């Protein structure tokens, strides 16, 4: 596997020792020119486990409280970049620490609204000559880069749509299984979706925009629906010069999960406003998250397959064109990673290595589609088993 980095050794800091962080540490650990990986988490025991298991002998664990900007900045000093794999709630805090430490920054997305706030920090990163890439996982991330690859083949872009289709073939006793952060999933299911339509941002109804779509086997036919996501926040800005008028993100949530969320919402368990229970006040949503997180693990690993599909419509030479790319990931047993962990955790590692080797030279706060060399990046995804359909690398 060709080295992505310069001849000098490079240190990276990965924040978050969850499922995505595991895959990120694993990918960095396999890069021969990465000399040191700091794995930071509030749960030091978990960070130690991840560093030992996935770091290729290069990783060490450190305790991190991302709310303490000053201490975090001291930790980040000397790193090439901080790879933020924590809950998106902490993106702004980690960016502030990166600014103070004068290091590059990458994250897995900000669920639209946080991403828009992060974009406002562009001048600050320009001022220190560093780069912040927002949302470089699967979707957002791979999806954005595929959109760039397709948009570059057109004179005009009218629409860019991202579709996240997946199936888990594992059998669980509990119908409510979660492939990533419970808090993020609940947010995606309860925050009203945003769509860019007819040149403006429009709020849509939850689970609206049902669109049947067929993916390659073994996924097959699914129904895709609007969901809140970061791609919609950046694609209209990035392709504005090409005249984009529409952009959307759709995903197939399990119908049982949708019904469960509707029920929980109906009885008030999704409310953020605290209610008094005896002498204590607690937010129903916080209580629900606590209950869900405290359940014992199923003991079963996902057997999932996920495809990120991007469709771009526009014009080339005056003729209408519709272009499509798929990125498909499958679960693995060695290492034991879900498809979601692989196609989310690997891209942020690759992008960080591209910054280190000079393949990405941009500064400021950027979306993936504005700074990442699409062909080179997608080739790296394909090499990692995240198969890109609709393009050849010859």
- The answer to whether position 292 is within a domain reads no
Task: Determine the average pLDDT of the residues in 340-350.
Answer: 97
Domain around 166: 142-254+298-336
Q: Tell me how far apart the alpha carbons of residues 50 and 12 are, in angstroms, rounded to a whole number.
A: 15
Q: Report the CATH number that the domain containing residue 157 is assigned in CATH.
A: 3.30.360.10
In a domain, 174, yes or no: yes
User: Any idea which residue has 């526009």 for tokens?
Assistant: 314
State pTM to two decimals.
Answer: 0.92
Burial of 352 from C-beta contacts in 10 A (0-12 / 13-18 / 19+): buried
Same domain for 209 and 178: yes
pLDDT at 3: 46
7-33 pLDDT, tens digit per residue, is 557 999 999 999 999 999 999 999 988
Q: Are residues 63 and 22 in the same domain?
A: yes
CA neighbor of 357 nearest in space, from 123, 29, 32, 56:
32
Is residue 278's pLDDT more than 90?
no
Rounded Cα–Cα distance for residues 270 and 363 (Å): 39
**pLDDT tens figures, 377-387:** 999 999 999 99
Q: Look up the CATH number of the domain holding residue 131.
A: 3.40.50.720
Pair 107, 147 in one domain:
no
For residue 385, CA distances in Å to 5, 142, 331, 382 come to 20, 13, 10, 5
Instruction: Evaluate whether residue 204 is within a structural domain.
Output: yes
- Please give the Cα distance from 119 to 132 (Å, whole number): 9
Cβ contact 229:111 at 8 Å: yes
- pLDDT number for residue 174: 62
Opening angle at CA 21, ends 10 and 64, nearest 5: 80
Confidence at residue 241, expressed as pLDDT on a 0 to 100 scale: 97
Q: Which residue has the tokens 């010069």?
A: 241
Question: Do residues 196 and 129 share a domain?
Answer: no
pLDDT reading at 283 higher than 80: yes
Average pLDDT, stretch 89-99?
97
C-alpha 111/C-alpha 90 separation (Å) is 12
Comparing C-alpha atoms, which of 301, 311, 293 is closest to residue 249?
311
Q: Are 132 and 366 in contact (CB under 8 A)?
A: yes
**Pairing assessment for the beta strands 194-197 and 200-203 based on DSSP bridges:** antiparallel
Same domain assignment for residues 54 and 114:
yes
Predicted local distance difference test score (pLDDT) of residue 394: 45
Is the link from the previous residue into 140 a cis peptide, with omega within 30 of 0?
yes
Residue-level pLDDT at 330: 97
Q: Same structural domain for residues 223 and 346?
A: no
Question: In terms of pLDDT, which residue wins out, 264 or 108?
Answer: 108
pLDDT in tens, 154-183: 999 999 999 999 999 987 666 555 555 778
Evaluate whether residue 284 is within a structural domain.
Answer: no
DSSP H or E segment with residue 390: none
Task: Give the percent of the chain with pLDDT over 90.
Answer: 77
| Count of structural domains, the chain | 2
CA 390 vs CA 228, 311, 377, 378, 386: distances in Å: 27, 11, 15, 11, 13
Kindly provide the residue ranges of all beta strands, DSSP E only, lying in 23-122, ordered along the sequence. Answer: 34-41, 59-63, 81-84, 104-107
Q: Is 331 exposed, middle or buried (0-12, 13-18, 19+ CB in 10 A)?
A: buried
- Confidence category of residue 39, pLDDT binned at 50, 70, 90: very high
94 and 211 share one domain: no
| Residue count (the chain) | 394
Q: Does 133 share its domain with 161?
A: no
308, 372: one domain: no
pLDDT in tens, 194-225: 999 999 999 999 899 999 999 999 999 999 99
Please check whether residues 107 and 237 belong to one and the same domain: no
Q: Are residues 61 and 107 located together in one domain of the fold?
A: yes
List pLDDT tens digits, range 289-337.
788 777 666 667 889 999 999 999 999 999 999 999 999 999 999 999 9
pLDDT category at 286 given cuts 50, 70, 90 is confident
Burial 119-139 (b: 16+ CB within 10 A, else e): bebeebbeebebbbbbbbbbb
pLDDT band at 1 (very low <50, low <70, confident <90, very high): very low
Cα separation, 394 vs 388, whole angstroms:
13
pLDDT at residue number 255: 82
- In tens, the pLDDT along 128-141 reads 999 999 999 999 99
Q: SS3 of 90, please?
A: helix
Cis upstream peptide for 240 (omega within 30°): no
**Rounded distance between C-alpha atoms, residue 59 and residue 81, angstroms:** 15
| Residue 346 within a domain | yes
In a domain, 22, yes or no: yes
For residue 270, being part of any structural domain is answered with no
Helix/strand/coil for 282? strand
pLDDT at 391 over 70: no
Peptide bond into 138 cis (omega under 30): no
Residue 288 located in a structural domain: no
| The pLDDT value given to residue 57 | 96
Q: Are residues 59 and 166 in the same domain?
A: no
């Amino acid at each position: 596997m060709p080295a992505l980095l310069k001849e000098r050794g490079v240190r990276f800091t990965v924040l978050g020792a969850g499922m995505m962080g595991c895959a990120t540490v694993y990918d960095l650990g396999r890069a021969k020119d990465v000399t040191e990986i700091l794995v930071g988490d509030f749960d030091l025991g978990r960070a130690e486990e991840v560093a030992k298991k996935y770091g290729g002998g290069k990783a060490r664990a450190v305790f991190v409280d991302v709310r303490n900007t000053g201490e975090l900045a001291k930790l980040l000093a000397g790193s090439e970049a901080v790879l933020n794999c924590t809950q998106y709630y902490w993106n702004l805090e980690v960016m502030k620490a990166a600014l103070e430490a004068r290091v590059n920054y990458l994250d897995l997305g900000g669920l639209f609204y946080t991403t828009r706030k992060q974009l406002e920090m562009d001048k600050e990163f320009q001022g220190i000559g560093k780069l912040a890439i927002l949302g470089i996982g699967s979707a957002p991330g791979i999806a954005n880069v595929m959109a760039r690859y397709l948009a570059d083949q057109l004179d005009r872009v009218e629409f860019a749509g991202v579709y996240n289709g997946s199936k888990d073939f594992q059998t669980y006793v509990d119908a409510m299984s979660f492939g990533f952060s419970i808090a993020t999933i609940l947010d995606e299911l309860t925050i009203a979706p945003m769509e860019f339509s007819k040149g403006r941002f429009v709020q849509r109804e939850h689970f609206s925009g049902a669109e049947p779509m067929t993916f390659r086997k073994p996924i097959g036919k699914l129904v895709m629906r609007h969901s809140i996501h970061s791609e919609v926040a950046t694609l209209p800005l990035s392709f504005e010069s090409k005249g984009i008028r529409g952009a959307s993100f759709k995903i197939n949530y399990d119908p049982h999960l949708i019904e469960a969320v509707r029920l929980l919402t109906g009885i008030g368990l999704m409310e953020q406003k605290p209610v008094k229970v005896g002498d204590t006040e607690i937010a129903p949503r916080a209580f629900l998250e606590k209950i869900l997180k405290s359940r014992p693990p199923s003991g079963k690993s996902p057997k999932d397959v996920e495809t990120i599909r991007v469709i771009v419509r526009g014009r080339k030479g005056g003729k209408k064109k519709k272009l499509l790319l798929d990125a498909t990931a499958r679960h693995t047993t060695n290492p034991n990673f879900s498809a979601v962990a692989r196609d989310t955790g690997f891209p942020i590692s690759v992008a960080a290595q591209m910054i280190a080797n000079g393949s990405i030279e941009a500064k400021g706060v950027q979306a993936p589609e504005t700074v990442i060399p699409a062909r080179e990046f997608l080739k790296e995804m394909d090499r990692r088993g995240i198969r890109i359909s609709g393009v050849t690398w010859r």
